[in-house]
Amino acid sequence: MKIVVTGGAGFIGSNFIGYILGEHPDWEVTNLDKLTYAGNLENLKDVHDDPRYRFVRGDIADRDLVGRLLAEGCDVVINFAAESHVDRSIMDASPFIHTNVVGTQVLLEAARHHGIRKFVQVSTDEVYGSIAQGSFTEESPLCANSPYSASKASADLLCLAYWRTYGVPVSITRCSNNFGPYQFPEKLIPLVISNAIENRPIPVYGDGLNVRDWIYVQDHCCALEAVVERGTPGEVYNIGSGQEKTNLELIHTLLGLLGKPGDLIEFVADRPGHDRRYALDAGRIGRELGWAPGHPFEEAMAATVEWYLQNEAWWRRIKSGEYAEYYERMYLHR
Ligand code: NAD
Ligand code: TDX
């Protein structure tokens, strides 16, 4: 099977490529990635020389390039490429519209013209907005609150429209917060781990009682594999593990694993439009595709902390580069 993975140099995409090349000796992967600040070919060093893997640098919103790639013959497109950080979307929404909305439409159009067998859109639980109690099902209305989630919700609607109007066989996945190796250190978990190792303050937005449902990235990859292989076109699948934590609970767990003191925590101004709680009902993917998460929170979190301890050079290179300027703007003047 020939797969085009977009955004495969980012956190989840690179984990996915490593995972499926390991699981499927007969799958071939072309990774189309623009290499924005979040794209890092170092994440793919283990597959770089695999003859079944190819990297193409480019923008998913580049019609000619995407058209040429899909014309080469491809069974499945799985779209990870996105601007993915909520705080950045609050500072400047434009790149989010370009990649997450226009880029997705360009991919859908190419998939339509080249008769792709399956298109998997990697979306997020954030499209549903915040929920005080209970959990969102795939039928819950979309209520995006940040420019990031609004751009992802727009892409979801375009995907469903391309299925209903043109029969492009799109399945959408909406996953909760991921953690694991190769996550860019602007996101909460790698930010906390790397700051704590460096004895730097840990910025907690608002009262720190916002709740997220945390899933190990490998469980997400396994769920995506199930959707690629058995997902129904036109269907949406929530992916979550039900491991809800407040940000403060999570941060204390990480500090405990690292043997660092709680006084590194620094309460800072809240994120505008900050969603209070995300929670998903992930029953459908279990019932229909037989997927279940396999990594309990404590074990996976300990393994993740260990990975960042063993791979200091990876995150130190990132934090000493362009990201350092972003960190300065985000936190030192907050
Ligand atoms: P990431 O920011 O780590 O990686 C994004 C990748 O996309 C990077 O390699 C970047 O270079 C590439 N990219 C950006 N714009 C591009 C463009 N125009 N053309 C080609 N490539 C481009 O993101 P991530 O955390 O790995 O998230 C991957 C996907 O999963 C996103 O669609 C995100 O919305 C979704 N998602 C993420 C989470 C999470 O917790 N991280 C949860 C649910 C869903
Ligand atoms: O420094 C911080 N301090 C803090 O308190 C950061 C970076 C975050 N937070 C809070 C905000 C959130 O309540 O921690 C929580 C998690 O924040 P992020 O890591 O930015 O994730 P979130 O906003 O929940 O979005 C993530 O999950 C869904 C991903 O970034 C999205 O790409 C995905 O769609």
Question: Which member of 33, 59, 83, 126 is catalytic?
Answer: 126
Question: Which member of 33, 83, 125, 275 is catalytic?
Answer: 125
- For the chain, 334 residues long, give each residue's pLDDT as a single digit of tens: 999 999 999 999 999 999 999 999 999 999 999 999 999 999 999 999 999 999 999 999 999 999 999 999 999 999 999 999 999 999 999 999 999 999 999 999 999 999 999 999 999 999 999 999 999 999 999 999 999 999 999 999 999 999 999 999 999 999 999 999 999 999 999 999 999 999 999 999 999 999 999 999 999 999 999 999 999 999 999 999 999 999 999 999 999 999 999 999 999 999 999 999 999 999 999 999 999 999 999 999 999 999 999 999 999 999 998 777 887 777 766 6
Q: Which atom of ligand 1 is nearest to the CA of 148?
A: 34
Q: How many domains does the chain have?
A: 1
Ligand nearest to the CA of 57: 1
Active site (annotated) includes residue 328: no
Q: What is the 3-state secondary structure (H, E, C) of the chain?
A: CEEEEECCCCHHHHHHHHHHHHHCCCCEEEEEECCCCCCCHHHHCCCCCCCCEEEEECCCCCHHHHHHHHHCCCCEEEECCCCCCHHHHHHCCHHHHHHHHHHHHHHHHHHHHCCCCEEEEEEEHHHHCCCCCCCECCCCCCCCCCHHHHHHHHHHHHHHHHHHHHCCCEEEEEECEEECCCCCCCCHHHHHHHHHHCCCCEEEECCCCCEEEEEEHHHHHHHHHHHHHHCCCCCEEEECCCCEEEHHHHHHHHHHHHCCCHHHEEEECCCCCCCCECCECCHHHHHHHCCCCCCCHHHHHHHHHHHHHHCHHHHHHHHCCHHHHHHHHHHHCC
User: Would you say 122 and 174 are in contact if contact means Cβ atoms under 8 Å apart?
Assistant: no
Residue type, 301: M
- Give yes or no for residue 181 CB within 6 A of ligand 2: no
User: Residue 253: which domain range?
Assistant: 2-332
Q: How far is the CA of 323 from the centre of ligand 2 (A)?
A: 16
The CATH number for 298's domain is 3.40.50.720
Q: How far is the CA of 38 from the centre of ligand 1 (A)?
A: 8
Active site (annotated) includes residue 213: no
Question: Which member of 53, 128, 148, 308 is catalytic?
Answer: 148
> What is the value of pTM for the model shown?
0.98
Active site (annotated) includes residue 327: no
